[in-house]
């Protein structure tokens, strides 16, 4: 397949060279499909095409690795120098790219269906916030009337006793793939990555619960009070709290959006891959490789980036920490700043509902490009104004693929 063609109703935005009768492609947005090898229901942007069948990214990597280990020569050397070379802009079309596993797509997990009630968990994604949706298990469409309005109760606390909000009128879109509830209004404090526990009973009532942290934390400049997935926050939020210039900002966004993510939310990528992707993703006034390299060096000198050692297997899959039997490769690492929230982060408000307090949320970027969305003129203007006010160098234009949320107060 070639860039610009359509697969699963989505435009192909990147096509890797065919290897071992398979070709890995990246779609413009996530799509649902069934992997022909593991028979799993997948929702991802990375899809491998094998004849008339589709494979998930994991099975693609396993098949590539087993082909090499079975005596067939690998498609390309995976020494650190070779990995850097194949990610270089001058030769990127001649070698496969380093492959990074996709995040979960926000689908339900830990589903429990006892016949009378259905319970599940999921992590909120930017798509849910933008469209007012909630993912549901496949059992729900067969039992709920698609057009019948549902009653939602939002709860706070491990015992689900503190009511935050109640809403009427949400409906089920059974024809969607995957099925969704629509018509929700997410509370202002809900961020991408927030974990939600859902219980559906009496066929019309749903209870959605947020689990409070033992102590609020500040993750990348934003106060977080509820259980969350740091991987999703790193990928879909880019806090406006680091004093970096324009090129440094582009580097950090590219690394956070495209890098390998570990359980702590650290993003990692080889230097040449970061150079190339930062250059490709600049919307206007594309910086040169030397300027991007200088930005990386400055970020390293200030400790915003560090060097770590990861590895790649024979299929080009990137891992951190390094795995035994893989080829070591140096990786640039972004570690989100994480600390306990202090008094200046939390502002007491005796009048806040539910005996909670108001707090400040730093201005931050939220990733929307993978959803086929663009930032509004108002968001662009707000980012431009705040970027100038912060005294940051370089053009004050909103990065491609993100929208901007201004600093504000949230009372929860």
381-402 pLDDT tens trace: 887 787 666 555 555 677 777 7
Please say if the pLDDT value at position 241 is more than 60.
no
Q: Is-above-0.75 flag for pTM?
A: no
Residue of higher predicted confidence among 203 and 71: 203
d(CA 3, CA 6) in angstroms, rounded, equals 9
- What does the pLDDT read at residue 299? 94
Please state which CATH number belongs to domain 109-214.
2.40.330.10
Contacts of residue 248, Cβ cutoff 8 Å, sequence gap at least 6: 295, 298, 299, 304
Question: Tokens 């300027």 belong to which residue?
Answer: 291
Residue of higher predicted confidence among 360 and 90: 360
Comparing 39-53, 181-195, 274-288, 346-360, which segment has the lowest mean pLDDT? 346-360
Residue of higher predicted confidence among 354 and 358: 358
408, with CB counted inside 10 A (0-12, 13-18, 19+), is exposed
Buried b (16+ CB within 10 A) or exposed e, 123-152: bbbbbbbeeebbbbbebbbeebeeeeebeb
User: Using an 8 Å Cβ cutoff, are 155 and 164 in contact?
Assistant: yes
3-state secondary structure of 331: strand
pLDDT, average across residues 59-85: 51
Domain with residues 216-339, CATH architecture = Orthogonal Bundle (1.10)
- What does the pLDDT read at residue 249? 84
pLDDT, average across residues 326-332: 93
| DSSP structural state of residue 397 | P
pLDDT tier for residue 292 given thresholds of 50, 70 and 90: very high
pLDDT tier for residue 161 given thresholds of 50, 70 and 90: low
Extents of the domains making up the chain = 6-75, 109-214, 216-339, 344-411
């Amino acid at each position: 397949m070639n860039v610009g063609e359509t697969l699963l109703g989505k435009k192909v935005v990147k096509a890797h060279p065919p290897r071992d009768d398979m070709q890995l492609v990246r779609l413009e947005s996530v799509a649902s499909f069934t992997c022909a090898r593991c028979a799993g229901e997948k929702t991802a942007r990375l899809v491998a095409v094998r004849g008339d069948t589709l494979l998930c990214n994991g099975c693609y990597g396993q098949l590539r690795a087993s082909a090499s280990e079975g005596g067939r020569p690998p498609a390309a050397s995976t020494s650190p120098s070779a990995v850097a070379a194949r990610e270089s802009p001058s030769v990127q079309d001649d070698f496969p790219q380093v492959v990074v596993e996709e995040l979960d797509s926000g689908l339900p997990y830990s589903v429990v269906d006892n016949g009378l009630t259905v319970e599940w968990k999921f992590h909120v994604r930017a798509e849910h916030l933008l469209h007012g949706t909630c993912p549901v298990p496949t059992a729900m469409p067969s039992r709920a009337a698609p057009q019948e309005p549902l009653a939602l109760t939002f709860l706070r606390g491990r015992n689900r006793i503190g009511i935050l909000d109640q809403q009427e009128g949400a409906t089920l879109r059974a024809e969607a793939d995957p099925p969704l509830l629509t018509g929700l209004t997410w509370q202002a404090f809900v961020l991408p990555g927030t974990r939600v526990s859902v219980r559906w009973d009496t066929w019309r009532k749903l209870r959605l619960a947020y689990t409070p942290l033992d102590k609020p934390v500040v993750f990348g400049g934003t106060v977080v009070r509820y259980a969350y997935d740091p991987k999703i926050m790193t990928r879909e939020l880019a806090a406006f709290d680091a004093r970096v210039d324009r090129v440094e900002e582009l580097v950090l966004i590219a690394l956070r959006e495209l890098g390998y993510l570990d359980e702590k939310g650290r993003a990692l990528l080889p230097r040449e891959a970061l150079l190339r992707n930062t250059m490709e993703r600049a919307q206007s006034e594309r910086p040169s490789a030397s300027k991007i390299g200088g930005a990386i060096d400055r970020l390293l000198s200030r400790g915003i980036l560090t060097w770590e050692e990861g590895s790649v297997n024979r299929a080009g899959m990137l891992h951190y920490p390094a795995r035994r039997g893989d080829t070591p490769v140096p990786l640039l690492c972004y570690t989100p700043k994480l600390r306990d929230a202090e008094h200046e982060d939390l502002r007491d408000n005796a009048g806040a509902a539910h005996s909670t307090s108001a707090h400040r949320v730093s201005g931050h970027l939220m990733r929307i490009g993978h959803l086929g969305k663009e930032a509004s003129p108002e968001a662009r203007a707000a980012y431009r104004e705040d970027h100038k006010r912060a005294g940051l160098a370089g053009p004050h234009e909103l990065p491609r693929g993100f929208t901007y949320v201004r600093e504000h107060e949230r009372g929860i």
